[in-house]
Amino acid sequence: MGLVDWARLRSPWVLHFNTGACNGCDIEVVAALTPRYDVERFGIRLVGSPRHADILIVTGPVTKQVEKRLKRVYEQMPEPKFVMAVGNCCASSGAFRNCYNVYPGLDNVIPVDVYVMGCPPKPEAIINGVVKLLEKLKKLKGGAS
Amino acid sequence: MEGEAVIQELIDVLRTLLFPGFLFFVILGLFFEWIDRKFYAKLQNRVGPLYTGPWGLLQPLADFVKLMAKEDIVPEGAIKPIFSSVPVFALALSLFAALFLPVCGPQGIVSFPGDVIVLAVVLTLLVILVFLGGLSPASRYPEVGAERSVLQLLGYEIPLVASILGATAMTVGLGGSLSIEGIVNAQRDWWSILGFQALGFAIFLLAAQAELERVPFDIPEAETEIVAGWTTEYSGKKLALLRLARDVELAFLCGLGATLFLGGPWPGPLVPGLGGAIVSTIIFVIKSIVVLLLLTVIRAAMSRLRIDQMVNFAWKYLVPLSIFQLLLAVVVAPLMIHLLTL
Ligand code: SF4
């Protein structure tokens, strides 16, 4: 494993984007970042700008209105970038299934690397999702997503 | 004779590049970031970086390497030459400033009468760079951040310079001098902070916090209001260099605080020979760490001010206080020394 891979696995910076969630998932994402779970142990940091981020955490059903913005935020992130869908809504539109204004899932709009299920998922599950993502990264070995 | 000159030249170059020059300060900067994050975590009842190297010691390095390997985006509307050169200049300026610090003896690598003023200018230039870095990408949030950083500069620059100048008052009894070396030597048996400079030290801490844009003065990069402030559009290598520049600046300002108020490397240089340099370095780093821990406590104990609150506070309290302490240091203290020695 090269130096770059080593660094990449140890410094995943996340960006949190709400595409229309009921706020349940957002609260859990924020809870996962509190001192109780202390994700800084793994080098995980919440950043404000898409330009700084490695992982895009998306919560909530992707509404038609937010689609353009979501794509833009995704495109603003520098490679290599990864996407994590948090919550049932985000993965498969969950409670909002078949609504006229939402997409059936996040993967209809941007490529997704990890799905975390639950309504809402526990903070432990979200951290586990990040760990799964890192494992996937390890297998890719330096390849961009 | 010729050979000796060449060897002396070589030693000077090595001193500048390795120790106590660039490499030393880069490593010290990364180390200081780690201490800062770790202690900050402790104050919040958590452990902080843990799994990257022993006790998470390599976390700042991992962040740096990762950012270096990421895609480097330049926004379309950006003024490219300025946008791209700001991170390089920021790092270069911080490293240049660090050369003045008396790490392994009472004298820095660069030292001349008046270098205190050069340092004050460098500290202002760093903020001008922030301003350019915020304006050049032609994007809204960085612009707001850039404006805020300059507004903030108007607030804390006078106190910062006044507290630095106040420290030079220590040299008054010794013929007076505006050089770091003079200030350090004047503190040989009596650190500035133990006298009239305690107030100056407090003002310096607040101003340094503002210069570094850390809580409660992280207004130019307030991530809850303006995305990431002036750094919003920076990514990849440029962001890595900016962060490194910040780390070096942090190490530099902590070192400057230790130099001006805590006696710098004293009593290290009393040890003769090479041992003196080693002891001085250790003492200097420990004193800098003390300053760093104080800065971290300020960061952990406070929340962000609004820009108007900051400027208000600076002009209503910080500036008058700093002028008062300058008077105290330059007029009252020498007068009292004069009266006492009569
Ligand atoms: S998954 Fe549940 S908690 Fe999350 S946004 Fe959807 S409805 Fe809300």
- Give distance in angstroms: CA of B11 to centre of ligand 1: 64
Task: Determine whether the interchain pair A40/B49 forms a contact, defined as Cβ–Cβ distance below 8 Å.
Answer: yes
For residue B280, what are the contacts with CB-CB under 8 A and spacing of at least 6?
A: B102, B103, B104, B105, B265, B268, B269, B271
Distance between CA atoms of residues B248 and B101, nearest Å: 12
For residue A9, the model assigns a pLDDT of 84
Tell me how far apart the alpha carbons of residues B342 and B334 are, in angstroms, rounded to a whole number: 12
Give the residue extent of every domain in chain B.
Answer: 69-341
AA identity, residue B10: L
Give the whole-angstrom CA distance, residue B183 versus residue B204.
Answer: 16
At which residue do the structure tokens 């910076």 appear? Answer: A13
Under the banding of pLDDT at 50, 70 and 90, the label for residue A144 is: very low
B75-95, pLDDT tens digit by residue?
888 888 888 889 999 999 998
Task: Please report residues of B whose CB lies closer than 8 A to that of A75.
Answer: none
Tell me, yes or no, whether A145 lies in a domain.
no
Predicted pLDDT at B70: 86
Q: Determine, yes or no, domain membership for A89.
A: yes
Contact status, residue B176 vs residue B184, Cβ threshold 8 Å:
no
Q: Which pLDDT belongs to residue B35?
A: 92
Our CA-based measurement puts residue A60 at a distance from the nearest CA of chain B, in whole angstroms, of 21
Residue A101, min C-alpha distance to chain B (Å): 28
Angle (CA) A22-A25-A27 rounded to 5° is 100
- Ranges of residues in chain B whose predicted pLDDT is under 70: 1, 170-176, 192-195, 333, 342
What is the structure's pLDDT at A93?
A: 83
Among candidates B45, B64, B227 on the partner chain, residue whose Cβ is nearest the Cβ of A35: B45
Task: Tell me which chain A residue has its CA closest to the CA of residue B141.
Answer: A49
Q: Which string of b and e fits B207-218 if b means at least 16 CB within 10 Å?
A: bbbbbbbbbbbb
In a domain, A144, yes or no: no
List, for residues A13-32, the tens digit of each pLDDT value.
999 898 888 888 889 988 88
User: What is the model's pLDDT at position B16?
Assistant: 75
Kindly report the CATH number assigned to the domain that includes residue A52: 3.40.50.12280
pLDDT exceeds cutoff 80 at A136: yes
Give the pLDDT confidence of B266-309 residue by residue, as tens digits.
777 777 777 778 888 888 889 899 999 999 999 888 888 888 88
The DSSP annotation for B94-162 comes to: HHHHHTTS-SSSSS-SS--TTHHHHHHHHHHHHHHHHHHHHHTT--HHHHHHHHHHHHHHHHHHHHHHH
What pTM did the predictor assign?
0.88
- Site from B139, B231, B235 to mutate, A interface, most A CB atoms within 10 angstroms: B235
**Domain containing A135: what range?**
3-139
Specify the number of domains making up chain A.
1
Residue contact A52–B227, C-beta within 8 A:
no
For A78-127, the pLDDT digits (tens) are 888 889 999 888 888 888 888 888 888 888 888 998 999 888 898 999 88
Residue B332 is given by DSSP the state: I
Residue B109 tokens read as 């690598």
**Residue to mutate (ligand 1; options A17, A18, A22; most atoms within 8 A of CB):** A22
ipTM of the complex as predicted:
0.85
Is residue A145 over pLDDT 50? Answer: no
Tens digits of residue pLDDT in A56-79: 999 988 888 888 999 999 988 888
Q: Cα of A44 to ligand 1 centre, how many Å?
A: 23
Closest Cα to residue B247, out of B88, B66, B25, B55? Answer: B25
Say how far apart CA B38 and CA B56 lie, in whole Å. Answer: 9
Give the closest of A6, A43, A78 to B70, CB-based: A78
Q: Which residues pair with A83 in a beta bridge?
A: A56
Tell me phi and psi for residue B125, to 5 degrees. -60, -35
